[in-house]
């Protein structure tokens, strides 16, 4: 099974990754917009995905009798992440367009408020605060939901998939293991 993709396993863990991400998104939604825009939310959502990838990586290694080269780990785990990201992005679309169409506006307001508060805490001058506020307000008004157009969703999916390359690389490096030993080959 060296350097192959275990389709059933990848599909199962890709669905798990997506369902766990969606479940956490629902929890964040229930906890409110302030939690959704918090650093804690972003941190936990990434950590949850990384935990799923670690579990998948070590299970795959075990399935391969501890012969799990980096290339195989990376390919399998990246596909798991991409499947999970796809499900998560699709849920985000449904959440913002069907379940709660006002969510995007509320998140934008909370983001502006949190940014202004953080800048004030760092002692940013008032004229800089006003300038930043106007820029953010203008940016959110120009967005007008375009992130949920076909190209916007595709862009979100691509960005999230690229983001997950780093965690997948790290997990692949930790989970990899090969039985190649120079001593075994000489015998």
pLDDT in tens, 90-120: 999 999 889 999 998 898 888 888 888 888 8
Mean predicted lDDT score pLDDT of the chain: 87
What are residue 68's phi and psi, to 5 degrees? -140, 85
Higher pLDDT, 1 or 44: 44
CA 16 vs CA 21, 47, 82: distances in Å? 8, 14, 12
Given the structure tokens 């916007």, which residue do they identify? 152
Q: Are 132 and 120 in contact (CB under 8 A)?
A: no
Higher pLDDT, 175 or 142: 175
- Mind listing the pLDDT tens digit for each residue in 33-70? 999 999 999 999 999 999 999 999 999 999 988 888 99
Q: Are 41 and 111 in contact (CB under 8 A)?
A: no
Least confident of 75-79, 149-153, 167-171, 183-187: 183-187
Structure tokens at 145: 């939901």
Question: Between 39-63 and 7-31, two packed helices, what is the crossing angle to 10 degrees?
Answer: 160
Is residue 187 pLDDT above 50, yes or no?
no
pLDDT at 134: 84
pLDDT at 144: 64
| Residue 140 three-state SS | helix
- Quote the radius of gyration of the chain (alpha carbons, Å): 21
pLDDT at 182: 52
pLDDT at 153: 87
Banded pLDDT at 130 (limits 50, 70, 90): confident
Given the structure tokens 């375009």, which residue do they identify? 146
pLDDT at 145: 61
pLDDT at 149: 78
Structure tokens at 104: 């995007």
Above pLDDT 90, what percent of the chain? Answer: 57
pLDDT at 184: 53
Q: Are 46 and 164 in contact (CB under 8 A)?
A: no
pLDDT at 1: 46
CA-CA distance, 170 to 79, in Å (whole number)? Answer: 15
């Amino acid at each position: 099974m060296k350097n192959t993709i275990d389709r059933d396993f990848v599909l199962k863990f890709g669905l798990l990754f997506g369902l766990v991400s969606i479940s956490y998104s629902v929890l964040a939604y229930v906890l409110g917009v302030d939690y959704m825009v918090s650093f804690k939310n972003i941190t936990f959502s990434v950590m949850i995905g990384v935990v799923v990838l670690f579990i998948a990586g070590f299970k795959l290694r075990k399935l391969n009798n501890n012969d799990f080269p980096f290339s195989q780990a990376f390919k399998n785990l990246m596909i798991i992440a991409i499947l999970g990201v796809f499900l998560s992005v699709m849920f985000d679309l449904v959440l913002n367009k069907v379940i709660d169409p006002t969510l995007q506006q509320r998140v934008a307001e909370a983001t502006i408020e949190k940014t202004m508060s953080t800048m004030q805490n760092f002692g940013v001058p008032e004229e800089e605060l006003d300038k930043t506020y106007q820029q953010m307000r203008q940016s959110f008004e120009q967005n007008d939901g375009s992130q949920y157009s076909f190209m916007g969703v595709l862009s979100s999916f691509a960005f999230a998939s690229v983001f997950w390359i780093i965690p997948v690389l790290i997990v692949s490096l930790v989970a990899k293991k090969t039985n190649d030993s120079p001593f075994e080959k000489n015998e």
